[in-house]
Structure 1
Amino acid sequence: MGSTVARQVVRILADARVRRAYAVPGESFLDLFDALHTEPRMTVVSTRHEAGAAFMAEADAKLRGTPALALAGRGPGASNLAIGVHTAHQDETPMIVLLGQVASANLGSDALQEVDLAAMYQPLAKWTRQASSADEVPGLVLEALRVATTGRKGPAVLAVPSDFWTARVDSPKPEPEREVRPGGVRRLAAEIGKLVDDSRYPAVIAGGGVREARSALIEVAEHLGFAVYNAFSRQDAFPEDHSHYAGHLGPGVSDDQLIALQQADLVLALGTRLDEVTTRNYRFPAATQPLVMVGGVRPGPRRRGLTFHVDADIGEFLTELRVAASPRKRNLVVASQAVRDFMTPPPRGRSGPVHPADVVRTLRELAPDDTIVANDAGNFAAFVHRYWCFTRPRTQLGPCNGAMGYAVPAALAAKLAEPQRTVVAMVGDGGALMTGQEVETAVRHRAPIVVVVFQNGLYGAIAMHQARVHGRLSSVAVGTIDFASWARGLGAAGYTVNDLEELEPALASALVRQRPCVIDVRTDPDVLSPDTRLSQMLRPADPDG
């Protein structure tokens, strides 16, 4: 007799270099859990919530470039997992999701926790299936791996009835399909090289797909005179201290930083889907600007104008383009100065609530250059994006879909994947209260991450929108939390920073401790963003409502 479906699936995943599975244990995949336990190449990380599991798997895969595994049970568990799967889909992160389903005999009977999981996840994932027989499960897992890692990368979701895991499959383990790359990279590069030669002001938008081709991009930018922008939350794609760096296409960037993109007569989008934030609400590239999209991502439906799609490995394409196009020098002093001015923090604050810029600046001065920064969503993140200055590869983990609660789980996954590196989570108080309990998971796995909580007592982004539109706030207050005591209750070290003088000693201590640390920084609630003060937007109360 052959081995069980569970054991075959685990071997397939391990052979594909999947190294960690993240899950809240569930009864609908007991046998898969047991098979994972006996596979020496894989580690199971038991999380405190399925959202944390999904964020961990997404961050693990984003950092390593190979899929990680997220598991959830039927109904409630699968619903909890959905936020991280959506994050992986929008971030183009390869991820395998296996969902436990009710027993096959009970399908369609409105059984306990039964949901049509394939239909539920269809708009949230790149690929969804539900196995209809036990013997097709190994082949479906192979298909999921192929889909997740080719073209536009993303999450592949497979629902498996609980009784299928113990079935024995007589057929040998299927071999993975070999990927066939589109041919003619040299010919395609030669054609694009002509466009580059004909242009005067070529610009590049670098996305997450460039991570494995970063060195090639730097060489090509210097050789061909490209101005390079980093896509939203992809600030480690191209070094932000490089003379050809033109800026980060995130919220709040100055108009001066957009000049090189506005005047571009050719735009190359490398490994990015050109999302709403990166394109400034689909303003760039304009219809009059020829666009070349390189990688598996195709132009979206709102794109107008001349567009070329090069479905090729980005590194190979850049290597050929460097040869095909004519070298040139380009003066980018104005663009570089605009970036430097924008990224220069304001003067250090004095006593009282800490300015968020001082938190980022001080931590950047103390932490190693290759520190991995997992930043959450929220207004505080604008200070991270603006003032950190990402210079090394694979140093940023951030959700481009704006999912709160990402940073703490992501930091833990990064530390498990690369234990030799310093890993910092930066999170607001609202996000910390969503998934911060994964600090206990970090304690259990002896993963010494540093969690910096920007506590301003507000859902800052919503407060800013309310103040701007209505001149007053409604239901955005977050109660004052003693995060240091909370951290100690979870087994971590806890610090409280109320004043700028306390900031550097707390950060310096946390960075060298060999245990998870949480630093509760009480930041000024009036400082909503680098350029916005809450007090300037609030209007006097109207006695008539």
Structure 2
Amino acid sequence: MRTVAQAVARVLADAGVEHGFTVPGESFLGLLDAFARTPELTLVSTRHESGAAFMAEACGKLRGVPAVAMASRGPGATNLSIGVHTARQDHTPMVVLLGQVPSTKLGRESFQEVDLAAMFAPLANWSSQPTSAAEVPGAVAEALARATGPRPGPAVVAVPSDFWDEPFPGPLPVPEPPPAEAPDVAAAAERLGAARSPVVITGARDRASHRELVATAEELGLAVYTGFRRQDAFPEDHPHFAGHLGLSVPGAQLKALENADVVLTVGMRLDEVTSQGFRFPLPEQDHLRLPPSALAELRARTPGRRRDLSAAHAAVREFMTPPELDATSAPHPTEVVRELRRLAPRDAVVTNDAGNFSGFAHRYWCFTEPRTQLGPCNGAMGYAVPSAVAAKLVAPERTVLAMVGDGGALMTGQEIETAVRHEAPVVVVVFQNGLYGTIALHQVKSNRPMSAVDIGAVDFAGWARSLGAAGHTVDTRDQLEPAIRRALAEDRPCVLDVRIDPDVLTADARLADFLES
């Protein structure tokens, strides 16, 4: 007879789940055993629960199918929570399975006890703690359904530790996602057909959606914006591309959106950054929402039309054209990104951490292929390295690059050891400037002294070698290209420690400009 844990593993495998990421804990030993004994499932032991959660999020984002993040009660679960919040704000399907204190000790503030269902309720699509062992497989099936519903996201199940090894004699439950609301494509087609200057904002990144959106934009004459850190949803070199709605968008790139009479959102929620502080859509603009699956019908119902979108795309091209760089010996972040883009394959997966340095990647990479960008829409530091490891495990045939600041690298960079152990040759580029640059910029822009933003010098190349990876230091511009070529040719994980000038805060701002004023 199956145990509860074995039933859960089978429910997950039958739903297409392939990976589970965890720091093992004594409150879910039965689940660890069931995962290891299920051929369709791969169990990855990570060095920190935040790394496990970021890996599960990245896996779900790349595949469109949930991965599982697992952690133990109390400290393990709280460590895991950052990745759950990331999955919620990124609309990423994820199943979170947490070990809880034994059912006989619940509610007594037992060792490491936390009300996990209540704790995760505001961070997840759904959270639950079954009251009997027999309820657990059904709760996991419900979590799968909630994670993959109309708004994908994380779903959490906390399971008392004594439930895992209980027998489960019943039939296996099957996830039943709630029905999606049928879109009114006819009404959308009528409004688009009469529109003067419609635009699209998209965040749908799978290959089919990418292809459908390109066809729709070309046939209906639509300018297309991509949502925050969803730049791979539409090719940035396409003449209909109007810009990435990220942070610090120049006014010239917003003109097409400001002048639109209809805004069509495809495959995403308009979060605060994408909507530019909830500014868009403007009150006078019609706002239409469609799933990517409705685009073919939309084209069939809407007359084809050509519009002059050259001004909108010219603003993008100007923004993405790098300025002349100062003749200094130190590598410039612009040059680092441009050289990586030039030398890496077109379909390389790029992960980026939070921080000022990520603005260079957003501005100068030029995403053209679907599912090539993994970045935290909630701005979580520590995302880049774990997500790169997961991406390489999911797509071992693709080049995977992580771009991370020294602050983020020191938070979760130890997952390079996970990459070494699983033979996942990722390339990690550390932009080391000894500074929490985003916070420093906020401080100097508001005329405050810089405080608590210094980061000590770290030999990231030596640190990488101590973990079994390759490591190279880049101190000068002439070292950059050969170092990137070596890293891309490595058959093991590789860290490039790129020492950049701390004065370079963003592509348009230097620290000295504020300190001198």
Work out whether the TM-score is over 0.5: yes
Contact 1:205 1:268 in 2 (8 A): yes
Contact 2:206 2:371 in 1 (8 A): no
Q: 1:244 matched to which residue of 2?
A: 240
Aligned to 2:232, the other structure's residue is in SS state coil
Q: CA deviation at 1:294?
A: 2.3
Alignment of 1:91-490 (within 5 A): 91-177=90-176, 180-183=179-182, 188-208=184-204, 212-295=208-291, 314-315=292-293, 317-490=294-467
Q: CA deviation at 1:212?
A: 4.2
Contact 1:48 1:438 in 2 (8 A): yes
Of 520, 527, 541, 2:497 maps to 520
- Give the aligned residue type for 2:43: V
Contact 2:149 2:177 in 1 (8 A): no
Compared with structure 1, are the counterparts of its residues 271 and 211 closer, same or farther at alpha carbon in structure 2 (3 Å cutoff)? Answer: farther
- Name the CA distance, whole Å, in 1 between partners of 2:133 and 2:140: 12
Aligned to 2:156, the other structure's residue is in SS state strand
Contact 1:230 1:249 in 2 (8 A): yes
Q: 1:304 matched to which residue of 2?
A: none
Of 457, 465, 468, 1:491 maps to 468
Provide Cα deviations, 1:335-372, integer angstroms capped at 9, x if missing partner: 11110010012235544221100000000000000000
Provide Cα deviations, 1:207-232, integer angstroms capped at 9, x if missing partner: 14666411111101000011000000
- Name the CA distance, whole Å, in 1 between partners of 2:159 and 2:46: 21
Q: 1:306 matched to which residue of 2?
A: none
TM-score for the superposition, normalised by structure 1: 0.93
Provide Cα deviations, 1:273-324, integer angstroms capped at 9, x if missing partner: 11111111011111111101224xxxxxxxxxxxxxxxxxx22x10100011
- Name the CA distance, whole Å, in 1 between partners of 2:343 and 2:84: 34
Q: CA deviation at 1:17?
A: 0.8
Aligned to 1:175, the other structure's residue is in SS state coil
- Give the aligned residue type for 2:345: P
Unmatched 5+ stretches in structure 2: none
- Name the CA distance, whole Å, in 2 between partners of 1:93 and 1:104: 31
Q: 2:31 matched to which residue of 1?
A: 32
- Name the CA distance, whole Å, in 1 between partners of 2:135 and 2:75: 26
Compared with structure 1, are the counterparts of its residues 365 and 349 closer, same or farther at alpha carbon in structure 2 (3 Å cutoff)? Answer: farther
- Give the aligned residue type for 2:476: D
Contact 1:349 1:500 in 2 (8 A): no
Aligned to 1:105, the other structure's residue is in SS state helix
- Give the aligned residue type for 1:362: E
Q: CA deviation at 1:246?
A: 0.1
- Give the aligned residue type for 1:160: V
Aligned to 2:186, the other structure's residue is in SS state helix
Provide Cα deviations, 1:81-136, integer angstroms capped at 9, x if missing partner: 00000000000000000000000000011110000000011111010000100001
RMSD between superposed Cα atoms in Å = 1.2
Q: CA deviation at 1:427?
A: 0.1
- Name the CA distance, whole Å, in 2 between partners of 1:434 and 1:470: 28
Contact 2:103 2:161 in 1 (8 A): yes
Provide Cα deviations, 1:174-194, integer angstroms capped at 9, x if missing partner: 2333664545x5xx2111111
- Name the CA distance, whole Å, in 2 between partners of 1:376 and 1:425: 8
Alignment of 1:21-60 (within 5 A): 21-60=20-59
- Name the CA distance, whole Å, in 2 between partners of 1:348 and 1:248: 23
Contact 1:28 1:102 in 2 (8 A): yes
- Name the CA distance, whole Å, in 2 between partners of 1:209 and 1:196: 23
- Name the CA distance, whole Å, in 2 between partners of 1:470 and 1:208: 40
- Name the CA distance, whole Å, in 2 between partners of 1:473 and 1:220: 49
Q: CA deviation at 1:253?
A: 1.7
The runs of at least 4 consecutive aligned structure 1 residues that moved more than 3 Å come to 178-183, 208-212, 348-351
Aligned to 1:229, the other structure's residue is in SS state strand
Identity of counterpart residues, as a percentage? 59
Higher mean C-alpha displacement, 285-294 vs 494-503: 285-294
- Name the CA distance, whole Å, in 2 between partners of 1:265 and 1:423: 40
Q: CA deviation at 1:169?
A: 1.3
TM-score for the superposition, normalised by structure 2: 0.98
- Name the CA distance, whole Å, in 2 between partners of 1:428 and 1:223: 41
- Name the CA distance, whole Å, in 1 between partners of 2:506 and 2:179: 47
Q: CA deviation at 1:272?
A: 1.5
Contact 1:471 1:537 in 2 (8 A): no
Contact 1:506 1:519 in 2 (8 A): yes
